[in-house]
């Protein structure tokens, strides 16, 4: 019979286990390697270590600087973006305010024109004569919008003038400030008749009012409705001054127009078809 120790495979296993145990024991008993430095090694270390420390600190400072610089650049870019957004929002608020004010003006214009039995076209003023006396205005509506020659132009404050030249998309208005204009007018308080024409410096004059007419400064003037252009009842302005001729039979009356032509933005064109 073959015993346990005589078995070749089992004997080989036992030997391997013993060798492993001996190796582990030897590794556990082994001392750590300690290298005691010499004088020359200590001299080299003491000489090179400060330089290594300087280079290491310099590297750390450079890295820290670039990190801060990048942070500052990113913060500056973000600040610029936020500033642009604030400006965009402010501009949007401004535009909304302008739209609101324009809508309010247009509503007033529409209310003013409700009582006038003519077709109405809303228009914006896009230009005026180069002399800055506002004798001629240009609006952004023309033949394509139904505007025709001699159409009356008004605002909520009163009479502006009439269309004297028209193209497909634009029209020119001869205002009441022009000396070539003639308007049959009535003084509302006394019902005195006269002719209003432009003067200069945003003024008009009223002619052919007899000396006996008791007109006064502050009296209001309206259109008389004579002729084929202006309907009756449109406000023209108020009397600013009165000058009676020494030997004549009439008085010269200066008029302040009710429309502020320097602030004129929108108008209504009254089309009589």
Q: Do 171 and 199 share a domain, yes or no?
A: no
Residue 207 in this model has a pLDDT that exceeds 50: yes
Give the range of the structural domain holding residue 216, as residue numbers without chain letter: 183-258
Residues 196 and 252 in one domain: yes
Please check the confidence at residue 156 and state whether its pLDDT lies above 80.
Answer: yes
Same domain, 211 and 188: yes
Last residue of a domain, one of 115, 132, 156: 115
Answer yes or no: is pLDDT of 4 > 50. Answer: no
Cα separation, 154 vs 196, whole angstroms: 16
Residues in the chain, total: 273
Structural domain contains residue 193: yes
- Same domain for 217 and 232? yes
Q: Looking at residues 2-16, what average pLDDT do you find?
A: 63
Q: Can you give the pLDDT at residue 153?
A: 93
Looking at the fold, whether 147 and 213 belong to one and the same domain comes out as no
Question: Is a pLDDT exceeding 50 seen at residue 2?
Answer: no
Which of the listed residues 79, 95, 115 is the one where a domain comes to its end?
A: 115
Classify residue 82 by its DSSP letter: H
Task: Report residue 118 CA to chain centroid gap.
Answer: 35
Predicted confidence (pLDDT) at residue 22 exceeds the cutoff of 50: yes
Q: Does 46 reside within a domain?
A: no
Q: Is 167 within a domain?
A: yes
pLDDT tens per residue across span 82-106: 877 777 777 677 666 766 766 666 6
Instruction: Answer whether residue 196 shows pLDDT above 90.
Output: yes
Same domain, 107 and 161: no
Residue 252 sits in the same domain as residue 202: yes
72 occurs within a structural domain: yes
Q: Per the domain annotation, does 23 fall within a domain?
A: no
HSE-up (13 A, CA, CB side) for residue 231: 17
What SS3 class is residue 62? Answer: helix
How many beta carbons lie within 10 A of that of residue 206, not counting itself? 27
Distance, in Å, from the CA atom of 106 to the CA atom of 233, rounded to the nearest integer, reads 21
Residue 40 is predicted with a pLDDT of: 63
Least confident of 34-43, 84-93, 177-186, 206-215: 34-43
For residue 5, the model assigns a pLDDT of 47
Ranking 14-28, 75-89, 126-140, 164-178 by mean pLDDT, the lowest is 14-28
Question: Is pLDDT above 50 for 7?
Answer: yes
Q: Cα(113)–Cα(163) distance, rounded to whole angstroms?
A: 17
- The yes-or-no verdict on residue 111 having pLDDT over 70 is no
Question: Do the domain assignments include residue 273?
Answer: no
The mean pLDDT value for 66-92 works out to: 74
Query: Residue 22, Cα to own-chain centre: how many angstroms?
Result: 91
Please tell me whether residues 187 and 170 are part of one structural domain: no
Closest by CA to 238, choosing from 252, 215, 220, 217, is 220
In this prediction the pTM is: 0.61
Determine the Cα–Cα distance for residues 14 and 20; give it in Å rounded to an integer.
10
Q: What distances in angstroms separate CA 224 from CA 81, 186, 221, one per listed residue? A: 61, 6, 9
Q: Is residue 17 part of a domain?
A: no
* pLDDT for 51 beyond 60: yes
Report residue 103 as tokens: 């809508």
Instruction: Supply the mean pLDDT for the chain.
Output: 79
pLDDT > 90 in the chain, percent: 31
At 63 the pLDDT is 73
67, pLDDT greater than 90? no
pLDDT at residue 223 in the model: 92
13 lies in a domain? no
CATH of the domain at 251: 2.40.10.350
Both 142 and 111 in one domain: the answer is: no
Residues 107 and 125 in one domain: no
Task: Tell me if 103 sits within 8 A of 265, measured CB to CB.
Answer: no
Residues 127 and 99 in one domain: no
Torsions phi, psi for 201 (to 5 deg)? 55, 45
**CA neighbours within 13 Å on the CB side: how many for 66?**
5
pLDDT in tens, 239-259: 999 987 777 788 889 999 999
Single out the residue in 175, 202, 219 at which a domain terminates: 175
Query: Are residues 253 and 187 located together in one domain of the fold?
Result: yes
Please tell me the predicted confidence (pLDDT) of residue 228.
Answer: 76
The DSSP output letter for 35 is -
In contact, 137 and 264? CB cutoff 8 Å: yes
Please state the domain count of the chain: 3
By three-state DSSP, how is residue 233 classified?
coil
Under the banding of pLDDT at 50, 70 and 90, the label for residue 175 is very high
Residues 168/228, Cβ–Cβ less than 8 Å? no
């Amino acid at each position: 019979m073959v015993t346990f120790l005589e078995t070749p495979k089992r004997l080989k296993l036992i030997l391997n286990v013993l060798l492993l145990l001996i190796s582990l024991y030897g590794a556990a008993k082994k001392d750590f390697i300690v290298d005691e430095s010499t004088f020359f090694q200590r001299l080299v270390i003491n000489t090179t270590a400060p330089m290594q420390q300087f280079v290491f600190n310099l590297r750390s400072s450079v890295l820290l600087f670039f990190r801060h610089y990048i942070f500052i650049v990113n913060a500056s870019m973000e600040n610029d973006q936020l500033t642009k957004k604030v400006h965009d929002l402010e501009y949007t608020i401004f535009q909304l305010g302008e739209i609101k004010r324009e809508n309010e003006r247009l509503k007033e214009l529409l209310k003013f024109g409700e009582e006038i039995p003519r077709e109405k076209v809303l228009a914006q003023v896009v230009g005026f004569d180069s002399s800055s006396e506002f004798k001629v205005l240009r609006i952004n509506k023309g033949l394509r919008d139904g505007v025709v020659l001699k159409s009356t132009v008004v605002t909520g404050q009163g009479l502006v003038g009439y269309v004297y030249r028209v193209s497909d998309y634009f029209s020119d208005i001869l205002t009441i400030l022009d000396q070539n204009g003639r308007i049959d007018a009535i003084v509302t308080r006394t019902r005195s008749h006269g002719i209003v024409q432009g003067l200069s410096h945003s003024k008009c004059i009223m002619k052919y009012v007899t000396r006996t007419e008791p007109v006064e400064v502050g009296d209001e003037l309206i259109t008389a409705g004579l002729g084929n252009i202006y309907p009756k009842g449109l406000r023209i302005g108020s009397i600013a001054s009165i000058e009676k001729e020494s030997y004549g039979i009439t008085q010269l009356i200066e008029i302040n127009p009710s429309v502020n032509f320097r602030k004129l933005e929108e108008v209504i064109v009254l089309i009589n078809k």
